[in-house]
Structure 1
Amino acid sequence: MDKNDFTRIELAAGWVDVYDFGEVRLHTYRTADPIDDEVFVVEKGGRGFVIEMPCFFDSITALEGYLRDAGIDVEGIVASYHMAGASFLAGTPVFATREADVYGHSGGGRALIDNFAGAFSDAFDSSIATVTDVIEGDELELAGVRMSIVRTSEAFDLEIPEIDALYTHMLGHDCHSIVASPGHADAIVAQLRGYLERGIGLVLTSHYTPEDLKDVRTKIDYLEDLKAIAAECVGAEEFKAAVQNRFPGYSGGNYLDMTSGFFFA
């Protein structure tokens, strides 16, 4: 599947790109919110499930309206790295691993939610989803679509063989990422090299439009450069300036701020 082969539908807040795999359709919702969220809906025969949740009220209203108009019967929400936005499709079952539940309610995910709530005030739905269905094994099936659960240090990724796609938290070939340390960068690189080895067709992330293996290679180079730059710097501001000079035009400046703080705490 070509990452650029889609039909775009404009919404009141953001837009949806629809990828047609025949029996299965992938609806990728770009919220265009202040943290550039991406939410995914996998549909098969009118049944569907959602990967992650929009967390700004305008986006929640827009996506709920889209799902209603499209006639997609949502059977569940798979919540991994984004637990905020609990008002979205209230009453719908929420699936997550125990690790993701902890990450969202008391770990790093909760810390981000608290930061965003302070930054964006009433526009942001800081309510945290209650996990109704804990994923114990390494497989999950919703709406007739099988997924493999790939557990990570924080939560979990998803592989969806039927559409040759993988969902992870962040990639973004021309966007800065949140990287906690050189060791964390190494872990991400190892993960990305695994995508190359498996020949994944589409990489779905919650802060970027669908990408491919060319983008994965670009991200690996970015992370390696990030470590090299950090080794030559003595403070966060010097590091940030050097990264900006090496990668001009990259979006996600707020993520670079966080990475700089982590590397030089």
Structure 2
Amino acid sequence: MKKDDFKSIQLGKGEMNVYDFGNIKLHAYKTNDLLGDEVFLVEKNKKMIIIESPCFFDNINELTDYIHSLNVSVEGKLLSYHMAGQTFLPEVPVYATQNADVYGHSGGGKALIEKFSGLFGTGFDASLPKVDYYLNEGKISVSGIKVNIIQTSEAFDIEIPEINAVYIHMLGHDCHSIVAGVGHADVLIAQLNSFKKAGFQLILTSHYTPEDLKDVETKVNYLEELKKIALNSKSATDFKAAVAEAYPEYNGENYLDMTAGFFFPSA
């Protein structure tokens, strides 16, 4: 399955891209919200699990209507890096690892939610659901849909073997990312190289449409270049200017600001 082998359905605000694998479907919801969020629905035998939640009320309403139109039974919401949006299908049980629960309710994720709530106002659903079922690392099945939970420092990633895909927080082959220094860059490079070794067809992230291994290679090259630029920069300002010059068409300048601060914390 190639990343562009989907049927596109235009919704009122967002767009649904449906990948049909035969006995299982992936519905990739492009919210077109102010954060560029994506939500993923995995459907099998008229049952569904949802990866992440939309956090703006107009998207919540739109996605709820779409799911109801499918006449499926939603078995669970797997909330990893995006815990906000409690009003989205509140009757559906929430699955998360314990560290994702902490991240979303009292850690860095909670801080971001509070920031976004201040920025976006009443259109943003800052309410937080409680976690109904804690996930451990390893293989599980939710109503016949098999996933592999991989715990990360903040939350968890998800492998979906039946569609040869993996969900992580961020990739974005043609935009800047949050990179917390050289050590973090090396961790990301090792992770991305492991995806190449595993041969995943699709890489799903909560801030970009589905990507592939060619995009993974592009991101690896970007991260290697960041390390070189940092080595030859004297300050965060120098670093940011050099990266912007090397990648003039990349968006996500706010992420580049954060990355510059991590590489040069005293600047």
Instruction: Give matches, 1:72-221, under 5 Å.
Output: 72-221=72-221
How far, CA to CA, are the matches of 1:181 and 1:250 in structure 2? Answer: 19
2:6 alignment partner AA: F
Contact 1:44 1:143 in 2 (8 A): no
Given the alignment of the two structures, is residue 245 of structure 1 paired with residue 245 of structure 2, yes or no? yes
After superposition, give the CA deviation of every residue in 1:231-250 in whole Å (9 maximum; x if it has no partner): 22222222222111111111
Cα shift at 1:140: 2.1
Cα shift at 1:194: 0.7
2:89 alignment partner AA: L
Aligned to 1:43: 43
How far, CA to CA, are the matches of 1:125 and 1:66 in structure 2? Answer: 19
After superposition, give the CA deviation of every residue in 1:156-185 in whole Å (9 maximum; x if it has no partner): 111111011100000010011111222111
Contact 2:137 2:151 in 1 (8 A): no
- State how many pairs are aligned: 265
Cα shift at 1:261: 2.4
How far, CA to CA, are the matches of 1:180 and 1:60 in structure 2? Answer: 32
SS in structure 2 opposite 1:58?
A: helix
How far, CA to CA, are the matches of 1:223 and 1:111 in structure 2? Answer: 26
How far, CA to CA, are the matches of 2:71 and 2:263 in structure 1? Answer: 47
How far, CA to CA, are the matches of 2:234 and 2:115 in structure 1? Answer: 27
SS in structure 1 opposite 2:183?
A: helix
After superposition, give the CA deviation of every residue in 1:203-223 in whole Å (9 maximum; x if it has no partner): 101101111111101101111
How far, CA to CA, are the matches of 2:9 and 2:2 in structure 1? Answer: 18
1:210 alignment partner AA: P
Cα shift at 1:188: 0.8
How far, CA to CA, are the matches of 2:123 and 2:241 in structure 1? Answer: 31
Deviates more, 1:225-234 or 1:165-174: 225-234
Give the TM-score normalised by the residue count of structure 2: 0.96
Cα shift at 1:143: 3.3
Aligned to 2:263: 263
2:125 alignment partner AA: D
Aligned to 1:26: 26
1:143 alignment partner AA: S
Aligned to 1:65: 65
How far, CA to CA, are the matches of 1:231 and 1:115 in structure 2? Answer: 32
Contact 1:235 1:264 in 2 (8 A): yes
Cα shift at 1:104: 1.1
How far, CA to CA, are the matches of 1:20 and 1:164 in structure 2? Answer: 13
Contact 1:166 1:200 in 2 (8 A): yes
How far, CA to CA, are the matches of 1:242 and 1:77 in structure 2? Answer: 41
Gapped regions of structure 2 (runs ≥ 5): none
Identical pairs, percent = 55
How far, CA to CA, are the matches of 1:180 and 1:88 in structure 2? Answer: 32
Shift in CA distance, 243/160, structure 1 to aligned 2, threshold 3 Å: same
Could you list the runs of 4 or more consecutive aligned residues of structure 1 that deviate by over 4 angstroms after TM superposition?
none
Contact 1:200 1:212 in 2 (8 A): yes
Deviates more, 1:255-264 or 1:97-106: 255-264
Contact 2:137 2:148 in 1 (8 A): no
Contact 2:175 2:250 in 1 (8 A): yes
Cα shift at 1:137: 4.4
How far, CA to CA, are the matches of 1:264 and 1:57 in structure 2? Answer: 38
